[in-house]
Each structure stands twice: as structure tokens, then as C-alpha cells.
């Protein structure tokens, strides 16, 4: 490990769990499952008066009298058997006497080996730590405030283990650390508030902090002791992750030396199984604290961890509840009979309440609603089009918008953080939230851009941690606060609610459609019944009028009136017939058969010539492709169109009416053309409406029902009907049916 080829990331790959050596304030023996000695530390001879023969490969029992003067034979075996079933926590530390000196034996398991680590049981402390711990804990927890809790903990740890400086170090999401609480000797400069680059504690070291909750480096100036193994070079195989004595990485040793630290002790703080931070203790002279003291300090760390967890959870929960209530309220409003955009933006609770934001924008149904502080209209238009082109995820968020969309630098003060929730990408509908820029000035302990310095030694590049710890401040720009998990969850829930509400409204429209259909059917039935019922009294009126007309004494004036009654009855009868026809279409089902249009049209024209008298009519019949449809209804269609063509061109001399059928790729199209009075272009859109008659037909009889019947029948056949007409020149009605 002494010569590492450099790349600045290499402390991330340093295998610190298998350093092949231990710190020399204790010694180590590793035995296998058969209790044979497979490894031991070279410094064993400074602690044990061993026989001349090499103990490597020998059963541990052979040296039991030396490592446990007063212990019964096989005591190591007994400890291991007990520890394997009950956990080594129960046996650690085992008090033993080695050549008149009190030692702690700490046993742990590493792969197939058992590590037996021996440390002096005498601390450099002369306090009864265990007694102090109880009192410390109650003092620590006395204050509910999070910062006070941290400050108290630092103070208590300092008073228990008497290190010169005790810091509570908290890791940010990017891995860098910040000193959030500190207790120190008066003569030391404060490090509170300083930030340390993430590279100061590489990832694999963080993992080990999770396995071993305390870590002591007793003296950075002592030489580590090599681990010897049965086979040469095999010492590296011994995984020291669970070890107490594991040697320190030379890089870390150098780092501490650069800071002037002689001894360091740390306690891990865990939040939901992850490393939240460390209680880091520095001493400017060597310092050894024994296993029991370390365990007591660990207990404080664990209590702080759970207090942190509890407080953080409590805080998170109350924020979460607040967001949840806002989402529920919005969801309720959306399901009420107000528009979705109003529900989200104009009630007492709005989009602004589902996260900690300073502005929000709803882009929905072709309108954009802005809430709070947002980019201006022009900037928004450009941002929304960029979102449309770039973002395909259903939700997307950033705390540094200008880094991905440089144009946003212009409004970074109000919108460095952006959260986009896509309602519909196709329709370009989004909800967008903004967080303002958070100008952060970070006090770095040393330049984080240069976490390590490179030395050249013997022509080999060597990495060494930075020597300069001079405070260096950096201002972070264009960045907002992070989007928290609670916010992401809240927005996701809102997204679900919006989708649900939109679907609900869509089905409400479907329900309305159904109701409308029903109403139409009822109307059909109504008009059918009423028309039917009107027919009888009308016949009676007509018959009695005609009867009266036969009376010889009737005056000429009365006869005239009766004549008009009869004529009106006829008109009314005609109208009733047509309304009946119209409403019957909705009721009858289709029976489609092939129709010989030529025969049908010929017959109709023959009849119509009789009805409309003897005026000059030139009728032409072109191609007549077969139509598939209901023969009675189709005859009604042609009859209405032909009769209109003839009727409304009767004043032209000669009247020219033609029928032409064509077959296109997908349709059969029929056109009925006349050279009659034509239709005013402004009235064309309503020509197929029921009872609608144009202004130019007042002198020509009609009911305004015929074309409505045509349209209804054609649509019932899934066809189309439209008209092309010019006032005074004539009209062409088109019918198109799928082939």
C-alpha cells in the first residue's frame, strides 16, 4: 500500500478492509474452524513470551496458558462455541491476564476465520465511563431541538472520552460532510460550519463505518504491525472489516498527520440503515481508550442515531401530512363540478401547497395559469416548448435548470429548481413548479477541487491527501434546494389525482352523451305519438269542412274560408306525415339490400313529373352504381332530393336536373344537380336542419323537413351528405356511402 500508482480517484479503490497489517497497540491471532492458528501479527512477540518453535498452524490450545494465564484449558473453544450461538457481543470483551497484564480479548468472525484481538484493558482514561453514560444520555435528550441535541451530544462525548475536539459531522447527499456541532478545547480554532469534500472519506471507508460503529486510531505515529500467514503473501486474504485493530490506510494516516492529529476516534451515526454522519473525535496527542469505553461511546452514538431518526421522522411526517392534506383537498375540488384548472389554481389550496415551492404553472386545455413567482410569459412559452421537445418522462425534476437549459440562466433567481409533471405530452399539458436559487456560500476546509495532492517520489507518483486545510469559500450559484422525497411523492400523488379527475370528467361527458341519446329517442317517440294523434282530429276537421262546403246556402266568403281550412289541413297533414317519417327513421332498424338506383330514380322522376305538372324539365341520368341500403329509406332520400331539385328549378326554363353516380376508391358518390334558385351561401350550413327553409323559397310550398330526413337516413347508413350551391344558378346535393 505504500506505493500506489496515482489517479486521484484511487483512494476509492484502496482495499482498506484487507490492509495486511494492524495497529500496534494490540495484537491479533486468527484461527480457523479447527481452531488452528492461520495468521498472527508480527508484534505478537512484544506481548507474548512464546516458545522458540513457530506457532503457525498449531492448535490455539497450545498457547492458551500464555494468552489466558488463569483460564481453564480450551477456554477459547468455549468462548467461540458460546459466541457462535449467542453473538460475540455477549463475550466481548473477555478479560484475560497475559504475563501479569490485563488484556481485553475481542473475538469476531471474518469469513471462515475467527479473529482474536488482544488490547490492553487499561485506558488512557481514569474515569468510569459506564457510570457517566447514563447521566450523559439523560442530559443529551433533555432538549427537543435538533441542533441542541447535537451540541449536547458533542459536549457529553467530549466529557466522557476527553478528546481535544469532538465534532458531529453530517453527510450531504453528494457525500460531502459538514461540521454541524462541535465541542473543543478553548485553544483550538473552531471548525463548526466547515465543509469537507466527499473524497475525504471514500466510499469503502463509509461502508466500514456501517459495519463497525466505532473506530479508534490510537496513534498515527506508530508503525503498524504486519500480519503473517501460513503461506507467504497470504496475509492479504484476511478480511479485517470486523476487526478493532485494523491498520489505517496510509492516505488517511497522512491526512490526519497533515491536520496535526495524533489520535482519532469516531462513532457512526446511522439513519435508516445509512450513514447519516459521524461523531469525529481528534486528539493532538496519542490516546488509547479501551474497548469498554468505546462501547459506551458507541451506545451514545446509537442513542443519538435513534433520537435523530425519531426527530427527523417526526419532522418528515408533519411535512408529509401537510402535503398529503393539500393533495386530498385538490383532488376533492377537482371532482366537484368546477373546471380542473380552477380546482388546481383558484381555490384556497392550490398547486403551490403540494411542495415547498415559490411558483407554479398549469398548462392545460390551451391556457396557462401562473401562480406565485414564475418566469414571465415569453420565457414560459420558450421553456414549455423546450420541455415538449426534451422531456419525455412523466415526471422530471432538477435543482439546476440553467445547467441543462442555458436560457434559464436569465431567470435562475426565481427558477433554478424545476419540477415538471406531464399531464399529456400529446396535448402539451403540464404542471410545472419552481424553486428559487439558493445562493450558498460553502466554507470548505481546504480546496475541494484539490482533495489530494500528488507527490513524486522515486520516480513513482504517490497520492497524498491535501496538506492545506485553510478555509476556502465557494459560492454555489444557479442551484435551488433539493426536491425532497416527500415532495416527489406528493407530486406523484397529485399526478394520479389529476389523471383520475380528467378521466372522471371524460366519463361524465360520456354519461351526458348517453342522456342526450336517450332524450333524442324520447323526443322521437313523442313526435311520433303526437303526429299520429294529430292525424285523426285533422281528418275530422277536413271532413267536416268539406261537408259544410256542400251546403248550398253557404256564402261565398264562408266557402272561401272553408276552402282555406281544407288547404291548411292538407298542408298540416303533409307536415305530420313528414314528421312521422322523420321520427320513424330513429326507430326502424336497417335492412340493407343491393338497390338498383336506375330503376328507383326512373320511377321517382316519373311520379314527380305528375306531381309538379307539365313545365319543361330536362332530366338526365348518368351512371348508376348499385347502392347497398334500406330500399324504402333510400327511396325517401332520392325522392326528397329529386323533388327539391325539380321544385326549386321549376322557374328555370328549361329546368335541368341530373343524377350521376361515381365509384371512388372507398365510396359510392351520387350527385343530384339542378339549375334552380340555389341557396344563399350564408344559409348553407343550416340547410339540413329540421323545419329550416331558406329566405328565397317563401313562394314555394314546403315544410323544411325533407332534408332533415335525408340527413338522418344517410347518417343511419354511415354515409355523408353535403351540398354545393350558388344563389340563382343551381345546387348539387352529394351523397356518399362506403363501398
Instruction: Give the binding site for ligand ADP (CB under 6 A).
Output: 640, 644-645, 648, 674, 676-679, 687, 692-694, 697, 702-708, 731
Burial 100-137 (b: 16+ CB within 10 A, else e): eeebbbbbbebeebbbbbbbbbebbeeeebeebbeebb
Q: β-strand 593-595 against 195-196: which pairing, if any?
A: unpaired
Please compute Rg for the chain using Cα positions. 48
| Residue 569: CB minimum distance to ligand ADP, A | 17
Nearer to ligand ADP, 27 or 638 (CB): 638
| Residue 717: CB minimum distance to ligand ADP, A | 18
The Cα–Cα gap between 549 and 346 comes to: 73
Sheet containing 395-398: give its strands across: 367-372, 359-364, 429-435, 417-424, 395-398
Nearer to ligand ADP, 482 or 697 (CB): 697
Nearer to ligand ADP, 353 or 674 (CB): 674
Paired with 94 in beta bridges are: 105
Asked if 50 contacts 98 with a C-beta cutoff of 8 angstroms, the reply is no
Runs of H (alpha helix) within 105-264: 129-140, 146-161, 203-211, 250-259
Count of beta carbons in the 10 Å neighbourhood of residue 141? 14
| Residue 644: CB minimum distance to ligand ADP, A | 3
| Residue 629: CB minimum distance to ligand ADP, A | 19
Nearer to ligand ADP, 227 or 579 (CB): 579
Q: β-strand 195-196 against 165-171: which pairing, if any?
A: unpaired
Helix, strand, coil fractions of the chain, as percent rounded to 5? 40, 25, 35
| Residue 389: CB minimum distance to ligand ADP, A | 50
| Residue 381: CB minimum distance to ligand ADP, A | 47
| Residue 680: CB minimum distance to ligand ADP, A | 9
Residue nearest to ligand ADP (CB): 702
The Cα–Cα gap between 554 and 568 comes to: 20
Q: What is the dihedral of CA 561, 562, 564, 568, to 10 degrees?
A: 140
Asked if 371 contacts 359 with a C-beta cutoff of 8 angstroms, the reply is yes
**Residue of 40, 129, 60, 114 lying closest to 82 (CA atoms):** 114
Q: Which residues, at least 6 apart from 643, have a Cβ–Cβ distance to it below 8 Å?
A: 608, 611, 612, 706
Nearer to ligand ADP, 369 or 708 (CB): 708
Nearer to ligand ADP, 217 or 705 (CB): 705
**What is the length of the chain?**
739
Residue 53 DSSP label: S
| Residue 648: CB minimum distance to ligand ADP, A | 3
Nearer to ligand ADP, 446 or 706 (CB): 706
Nearer to ligand ADP, 457 or 618 (CB): 618
Nearer to ligand ADP, 362 or 672 (CB): 672
| Residue 380: CB minimum distance to ligand ADP, A | 50
**Residue of 275, 273, 225 lying closest to 246 (CA atoms):** 225
Nearer to ligand ADP, 249 or 652 (CB): 652
| Residue 731: CB minimum distance to ligand ADP, A | 4
Nearer to ligand ADP, 157 or 575 (CB): 575
Count of beta carbons in the 10 Å neighbourhood of residue 344? 27
Distance of CA 346 to the CA centre of its chain: 24
| Residue 390: CB minimum distance to ligand ADP, A | 54
| Residue 364: CB minimum distance to ligand ADP, A | 42
Nearer to ligand ADP, 468 or 651 (CB): 651
| Residue 575: CB minimum distance to ligand ADP, A | 9
Distance of CA 193 to the CA centre of its chain: 34
Nearer to ligand ADP, 305 or 649 (CB): 649
The Cα–Cα gap between 467 and 81 comes to: 48
Count of beta carbons in the 10 Å neighbourhood of residue 39? 22
Q: Write the DSSP assignment of 356-407 as a string of letters.
A: T-SEEEEEETTEEEEEES---HHHHHHHHHHHHHH--SSEEEES-HHHHSGG
Nearer to ligand ADP, 93 or 730 (CB): 730
The Cα–Cα gap between 502 and 513 comes to: 17
Output the nine-digit C-alpha cell for 333.
375540488
Cis amide bond preceding 93, omega within 30: yes
| Residue 639: CB minimum distance to ligand ADP, A | 10
The Cα–Cα gap between 647 and 701 comes to: 9
The Cα–Cα gap between 415 and 370 comes to: 13
**Residue of 191, 95, 507 lying closest to 335 (CA atoms):** 507
Nearer to ligand ADP, 105 or 575 (CB): 575
| Residue 708: CB minimum distance to ligand ADP, A | 6
| Residue 707: CB minimum distance to ligand ADP, A | 3
Q: Which residues, at least 6 apart from 627, have a Cβ–Cβ distance to it below 8 Å?
A: 594, 595, 597, 634, 668, 670, 737
**Residue of 143, 140, 97, 142 lying closest to 120 (CA atoms):** 97
Nearer to ligand ADP, 380 or 646 (CB): 646
Distance of CA 400 to the CA centre of its chain: 18
Amino acid at each position: 500500500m505504500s506505493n500506489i500508482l496515482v489517479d486521484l480517484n484511487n483512494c476509492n479503490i484502496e482495499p482498506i478492509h484487507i490492509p495486511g497489517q494492524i495497529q500496534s497497540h494490540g495484537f491479533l491471532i486468527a484461527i480457523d474452524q479447527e481452531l488452528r492458528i492461520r495468521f498472527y501479527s508480527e508484534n505478537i512477540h512484544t506481548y507474548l513470551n512464546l516458545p522458540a518453535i513457530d506457532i503457525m498452524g498449531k492448535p490455539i490450545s497450545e498457547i492458551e496458558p500464555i494468552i489466558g494465564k488463569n483460564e481453564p484449558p480450551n477456554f477459547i473453544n468455549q468462548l467461540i462455541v458460546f459466541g457462535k450461538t449467542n453473538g460475540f457481543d455477549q463475550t466481548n470483551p473477555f478479560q484475560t491476564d497475559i504475563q501479569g497484564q490485563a488484556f481485553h480479548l475481542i473475538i469476531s468472525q471474518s469469513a471462515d476465520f475467527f479473529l482474536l484481538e488482544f488490547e490492553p484493558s487499561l485506558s488512557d482514561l481514569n474515569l468510569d465511563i459506564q457510570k457517566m453514560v447514563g447521566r450523559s444520555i439523560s442530559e443529551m435528550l433533555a432538549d427537543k431541538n435538533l441542533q441542541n441535541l447535537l451540541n449536547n451530544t458533542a459536549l457529553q462525548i467530549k466529557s466522557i472520552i476527553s478528546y481535544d475536539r469532538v465534532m458531529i459531522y453530517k453527510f450531504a447527499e453528494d457525500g460531502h460532510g459538514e461540521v454541524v456541532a462541535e465541542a473543543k478545547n478553548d485553544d483550538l480554532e473552531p471548525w463548526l460550519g466547515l465543509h469537507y469534500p466527499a473524497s475525504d472519506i471514500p466510499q469503502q471507508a463509509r461502508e466500514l463505518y456501517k459495519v463497525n460503529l466505532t473506530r479508534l486510531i490510537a496513534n498515527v505515529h506508530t508503525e503498524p504491525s504486519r500480519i503473517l500467514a501460513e503461506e507467504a503473501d497470504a496475509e492479504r486474504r484476511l478480511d479485517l472489516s470486523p476487526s478493532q485493530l485494523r491498520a489505517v490506510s496510509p492516505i488517511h494516516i497522512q491526512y490526519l498527520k497533515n491536520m496535526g492529529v495524533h489520535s482519532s476516534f469516531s462513532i457512526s451515526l446511522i439513519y435508516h440503515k445509512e450513514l447519516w454522519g459521524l461523531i469525529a473525535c481528534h486528539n493532538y496527542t496519542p490516546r488509547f481508550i479501551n474497548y469498554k469505553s468505546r462501547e459506551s461511546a458507541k451506545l451514545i452514538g446509537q442513542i443519538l442515531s435513534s433520537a435523530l431518526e425519531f426527530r427527523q421522522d417526526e419532522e418528515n411526517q408533519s411535512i408529509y401530512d401537510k402535503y398529503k392534506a393539500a393533495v386530498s383537498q385538490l383532488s376533492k375540488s377537482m371532482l366537484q363540478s368546477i373546471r380542473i384548472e380552477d380546482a388546481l389554481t383558484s381555490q384556497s389550496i392550490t398547486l403551490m401547497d403540494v411542495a415547498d415551492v415559490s411558483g407554479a404553472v398549469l398548462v392545460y386545455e390551451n391556457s396557462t395559469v401562473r401562480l406565485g413567482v414564475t418566469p414571465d410569459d415569453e420565457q414560459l412559452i420558450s421553456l414549455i416548448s423546450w420541455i415538449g421537445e426534451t422531456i419525455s418522462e412523466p415526471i422530471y425534476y432538477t435543482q439546476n435548470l440553467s445547467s441543462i437549459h442555458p436560457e434559464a440562466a436569465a431567470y435562475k433567481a426565481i427558477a433554478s429548481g424545476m419540477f415538471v409533471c406531464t399531464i399529456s405530452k400529446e396535448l402539451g399539458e403540464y404542471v410545472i413548479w419552481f424553486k428559487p436559487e439558493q445562493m450558498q456560500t460553502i466554507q470548505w476546509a481546504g480546496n475541494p477541487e484539490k482533495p489530494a495532492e500528488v507527490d513524486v517520489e522515486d520516480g513513482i507518483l504517490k497520492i497524498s491527501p491535501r496538506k492545506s486545510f485553510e478555509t476556502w469559500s465557494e459560492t454555489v450559484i444557479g442551484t435551488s434546494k433539493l426536491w425532497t422525497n416527500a415532495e416527489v411523492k406528493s407530486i406523484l400523488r397529485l399526478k394520479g389525482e389529476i389523471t383520475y379527475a380528467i378521466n372522471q370528467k371524460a366519463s361524465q361527458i360520456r354519461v351526458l352523451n348517453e342522456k342526450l341519446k336517450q332524450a333524442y329517442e324520447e323526443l322521437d317517440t313523442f313526435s311520433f305519438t303526437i303526429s299520429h294523434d294529430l292525424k285523426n282530429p285533422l281528418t275530422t276537421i277536413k271532413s267536416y269542412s268539406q261537408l259544410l262546403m256542400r251546403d248550398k246556402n253557404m256564402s261565398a266568403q264562408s266557402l272561401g274560408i272553408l276552402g282555406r281550412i281544407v288547404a291548411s289541413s292538407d298542408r298540416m297533414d303533409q307536415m305530420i306525415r313528414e314528421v312521422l317519417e322523420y321520427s320513424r327513421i330513429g326507430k326502424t332498424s336497417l335492412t340493407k339490400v343491393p338497390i338498383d338506383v336506375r330503376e328507383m330514380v326512373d320511377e321517382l322522376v316519373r311520379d314527380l313529373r305528375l306531381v309538379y305538372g307539365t313545365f319543361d324539365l330536362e332530366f338526365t341520368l348518368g351512371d348508376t352504381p348499385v347502392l347497398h341500403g334500406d330500399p324504402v329509406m333510400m327511396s325517401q332520400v332520392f325522392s326528397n332530393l329529386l323533388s327539391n331539385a325539380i321544385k326549386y328549378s321549376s322557374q328555370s326554363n328549361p329546368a335541368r336536373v341530373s343524377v350521376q353516380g361515381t365509384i371512388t376508391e372507398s365510396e359510392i358518390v351520387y350527385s343530384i344537380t339542378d339549375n334552380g334558385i340555389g341557396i344563399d351561401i350564408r344559409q348553407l350550413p343550416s340547410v339540413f336542419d329540421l323545419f329550416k327553409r331558406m329566405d328565397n323559397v317563401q313562394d314555394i310550398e314546403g315544410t323544411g323537413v325533407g332534408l332533415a330526413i335525408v340527413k338522418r337516413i344517410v347518417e343511419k347508413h354511415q354515409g355523408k351528405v353535403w351540398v354545393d350551391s350558388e344563389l340563382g344558378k343551381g345546387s348539387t346535393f352529394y351523397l356518399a356511402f362506403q363501398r
